[in-house]
Amino acid sequence: MDPAYVAILSVLFLFSLHRFLSHHRRRSSKVVVNGKNNLGTHHRLPPGPPAIPVLGHLHLLEKPIHAALSRLAKQYGPLFSLRMGSRPAMVVSSAELARVCFTEHDVTFATRPRFPSFDLVSFGGTTLPTSRYGPYWRNLRRVATVHLLSAHRVTCMLPVVSGEVRAMARRMYRAAAAAGPRGAARVELKRRLFELSLSALMETIARTKTSRGEGSGAGAAAGDDRDMAPETQEFKEALDEFIPLVGAANVWDFLPVLRWLDVLGVRRRILAAVGRRDAFLRRLIDAERRRMEEGDDGGGEGEKKSMIAVLLTLQKTEPEVYTDATIMALCTSMFTGGAETTATTAEWAMSLLLNHPDVLKKAQAEIDASVGTSRLVTPADVPRLAYLQCIINETLRQYPAVPTLVPHESTADCKVGGHDVPRGTMLLVNAYAIHRDPAAAWGPDPDAFRPERFEDGKAEGKFMIAFGMGRRKCPGETLALRTVGLVLGTLIQCFDWDTVDGGKVDMAEGVGITLPRAVPLEAMCTPRQTMRGVLREL
């Protein structure tokens, strides 16, 4: 059991005893009216494990939650019920049932449950991923898809991403050159990948950079290999602090006594981290507003404008709709959803490649044959690198960035898999389990890393929901896939890779609403002999 429970058992015992006795008193004093008892209409709910008073099934949800839910699914089936404190929940672990939820009942499950932890980090549940379904969310979605993440805008963003990828390759090459005769540098990949993702987003969202110097992008000064600026490092640390504290496995959300007493300090820790994040966002918005007041057009017209400039322009026409709080909420969605999940996916991909050097060599051979060794991979090359796309798809299959997706909630009674789902039921879809389900046509060994599953159309018709499905599907999917492809393609093309100790990479998973590694990936990179000439010119 999680050590957190030990600290609160004495308090919960009294609540548990009271609820347990009250429950039995109510059952023994049922009132029958017109032949029906006062418990209302009987529901044929999905099966589930026995619950205990007050906690419900929280004691069963050890972290990481997707693993705990997978174990329960083996015992109770692909559709089962839970009670999270006093909140009813339903867990789906099969492709067939997920399709039902997000096609036949898409509108019913289109809203989000309210969590106290989510409210603290999402401006009261007003970010794009966390807001309730309705006019406000539809407007946010329209702004995101039309103004911020349209296909044309993503295309315009790719040169910025490419510049940041080149800068990362340059820094890694120089680190390797400084390492001595062997020319191998020890690299903490998660930090490098997060810096790259955040820097690309910073330039497109706010026309600023994340590095201390001016040369983090294309055309940087020759000696500029410095890390993130202090305020950007603070932003990253804020995300690292609160991301593990939010999500469906956070008992703090389901037990009011924990929030009243804040025994675990969750509220204090979240608010401190959110305060640092919000100060960072306010600085970005205020800086862009000052530039626009001074006659700067926000970086150009249409898709060349910074995203904040687009939102501030909308604010002038509808100030009551596009408040600063709404702009901050949209920026938070972009930064958190873009930088964190993209970096995490690329880190898992590199972890898998380090454990499967034969796959790495095959990917290098494909890039050498298609792109050559006289230039770097470009955004235009990525869609044509079929095996690289297979590697990305297989990584997302095995390690979806949000393994149980963002929780949904039913707004009406419905039926799923022959069972009743009452209004107000939280829906958890275990994408991690669905992607590893042998019954989902992934073959007899779904836990094995085999990019070849996706070669030559073999995966056509197979079910993957790494970015969600239906109305609440992630609108940043195209940008994420293009960014991960360019990052991985460059790392594979430019460097040979090995583990720090020569052994296997530990694939232990961390906790949080996303799926981080338990320990950030470190690896040894050596510039490939055939690419040294290109790397020297960066």
- Sort strands 495-499 and 87-92 into parallel, antiparallel or unpaired: unpaired
pLDDT band at 460 (very low <50, low <70, confident <90, very high): confident
Q: Is the pLDDT of residue 293 over 70?
A: yes
Taking the whole predicted model, whether its pTM rises above 0.85 is answered as yes
Residue 225: predicted pLDDT: 43
Q: Which of 204-218, 306-320, 392-406 has the lowest mean pLDDT?
A: 204-218
Per-residue pLDDT, 364 = 98
Parallel/antiparallel/unpaired status of strands 408-409 and 495-499: unpaired
Q: Please give the pLDDT value at position 14.
A: 40
Q: Which tokens go with 486?
A: 């360019």
Per-residue pLDDT reduced to its tens digit, 29-88: 333 333 333 333 557 999 999 999 889 999 999 889 999 999 999 999 999 999 999 899
219 pLDDT higher than 50: no
Return binding residues for heme.
474
**Three-state SS sequence of 468-498:** CCHHHCCCCHHHHHHHHHHHHHHHHHHEEEE
Which of 207, 166, 400 has the alpha carbon at shortest distance from 291?
207
CATH of 114-411+442-536, one of 1.10.10.10, 2.40.50.140, 1.10.3720.10, 1.10.630.10: 1.10.630.10
User: Where are the strands (E) in 400-503, listed by range?
Assistant: 408-409, 414-416, 419-421, 426-429, 495-499
Task: Report which secondary-structure segment, H or E, holds 80.
Answer: strand 79-84
The tally of CA atoms less than 13 A away on the side-chain side of residue 94 is 13
Domain ranges of the chain: 114-411+442-536
Structure tokens at 190: 């998660």
Binding-site sequence positions: 474
Q: How many CA atoms lie within 13 A of 108 on its CB side?
A: 19
State pLDDT tens for residues 160-191.
999 999 999 999 999 999 987 667 999 999 88
